[in-house]
Amino acid sequence: MDIPHTDTAPVKPKRWYRQLYFYVLVAIVLGVLVGAVWPSVGKAMEPIGTTFVDLMKMLIGPVVFLTIVGGIASVADLKKVGLTGIKALTYFQVGTIVAMITGLVAINLFRLGDGVNADASTLETNDDVGELVEAGEEQHWWDFILRVFPDSIAAPFVEGQILQIIFIAVIFGVALNAVGPVGAPVLNAVQRLTAIVFKVLGYIMKLAPLGAFGAMAYAIGEYGLDTLTSLGSLIALFYVTSALFVFVGLGAVMLYLRLNLFQLLRYLREELLLILGTSTAEPALPGLMRKMEFAGVEKSTVGLVVPTGYSFNLDGAAIYLSLASLYIAQATNTELSVGEQIGLLAVMLLTSKGAAGVAGGGFIALTATLASVGTVPAAGIMLVFGIDKFMSECRALVNFCGNAVATLFIARWDGTLDHERARAVFRGDTVADMDAPSDVEHTSADRARAAEAPQDDAEPAAVPVGTGTAAGTGAEPASGGGARPSVGV
């Protein structure tokens, strides 16, 4: 596969203490300190974190729509797009099953709920939890299917319904591809809009340290460090199980692809830190799409697999559901046979999809699972509600890692992965520009940082749009605001 890229003059690499990920990490540490020492101040920081996340969410819809439309409209064979979607959904389902089985095995081995002897009839819910419980009990297994179809064009973008945006984008991209030359001006406009949207994202990403600080300070100030220690064993088991799934399960997939998982995680370190600070993977979605394309995955594959994975490939949520469900069963002295646990897993496969994209999705999915099965008292969710916030970071991190690996796997399966480029980019090796003379070489970090150089004097014609570069800006995978690929948008 030949993915053309443009290049600019080499730029001296920035030192680690001038990288954005360093400031995000410092902000997270400061947030924990402020929330622990001055809880009231930490709580007051909530608007800072939520505002940053809202700003990022504001552009997720346009990013997903423009990327999918541009990718589908540019391919020559539409059948290939359909096959890619089927392959992706197949992989997602298998990955979810493996993740859930991992959680079930872990909680059955350690049985942390034994001895709690909680009486579900005495567990009371506050107003916030009651709303989530009610939402979970109203979930049905078919909800995620119905949620795919919007009732208007604008509503999905306003409400942030990624599944519906994907549906509209696929239909629009197929139609744009089908009309041929007539749609060329529209495709050109889509590609140019993509460049503008990523430029705006680059500006917003400069606020990432501030957003991470606000979100972390609020979390610690609101829930306190005592919450972590009260159910520390369950939190520890969840984190250890998730780590094993990432390093063993996803590591095995990367080994099959002949790529290095640790190099991939280092490549995505800014996105991972951003998720850790904000407790949600949504702000990192644009960065994952850009970095996967920069690493050699075809644009149409990235545009289809990554956004879909955010709704259907929730490995972290799958582990959480299986662990929490069995913990509640053990804590309330509800014995479940192997067959009943398998039936519980089957229900979780559906409820986990039904709560995708919903605020408090993991907790709602847990409630929906218990309410659907009926054998485990749904009121038992109060046993884990206090630590749910601190488990959400891990869920989001595992979901993100799972989607990164899934994109590479589907691209390899589909023949749309430049394997050698991916290996070189993940290592940070010197990467030769793919359409420049062979003697023009820069490291992957240098090539992306070159986008930070002022380009006001550049000729517009020298920046090809939609040539397979990140966001079609001609500088890969620079964030629209000139940020390097390590900026994590």
Residue 487 lies in a domain: no
Is residue 123 domain-resident?
yes
DSSP bridge partners of 442: 431
For the stretch 193-209, pLDDT in tens is 988 988 888 888 888 88
Tokens of 190: 């889509």
Is residue 105 domain-shared with residue 191, that is, in the same domain?
Answer: yes
Residue 105 lies in a domain: yes
**Same-domain status, 448 and 358:** no
- Beta-carbon count within 10 A of 434 CB: 17
- The answer to whether residue 135 is domain-embedded is yes
Does residue 111 sit in the same domain as residue 219?
yes
Are 240 and 375 found together in one domain? yes
CA angle 333, 334, 338 (to 5 degrees): 130
Shared domain check, 91 and 69 = yes
Give Cα 374 to chain centroid, integer Å.
31
Q: How far apart are CA 239 and CA 246, in angstroms?
A: 10
Domain shared by 162 and 301, yes or no: yes
| Token pair for 384 | 């884990």
pTM: 0.70
Q: What is the 3-state secondary structure (H, E, C) of 216-241?
A: HHHHHHHHHHHHHHHCHHHHHHHHHH
Q: Is residue 96 part of a domain?
A: yes
Would you state the pLDDT for residue 442?
39
**How far, in Å, CA of 47 to CA of 442, rounded?**
41
Residue 155: give its domain's CATH number. Answer: 1.10.3860.10
Decide if 214 is inside a domain. yes
Tens digit of pLDDT for each residue in 145-155? 666 788 888 88
In this structure, the answer to whether residues 314 and 451 fall within a common structural domain is no
Does residue 353 sit in the same domain as residue 422? Answer: no
pLDDT at res. 121:
62
Residue 77: inside a domain, yes or no? Answer: yes
Give a yes or no: residue 2 inside a domain.
no
Rg, C-alpha atoms of the chain: 23
pLDDT score at 439 = 33
- Report the number of distinct structural domains present in the chain: 2
Residues 282 and 309 in one domain: yes
Print the domain residue range for 212: 20-417
Q: Give pLDDT < 70 ranges for the chain.
A: 1-18, 76, 120-147, 223, 225-231, 353-364, 372, 386, 430-489
> What pLDDT score was predicted for residue 63?
84
Q: Both 244 and 272 in a single domain? A: yes
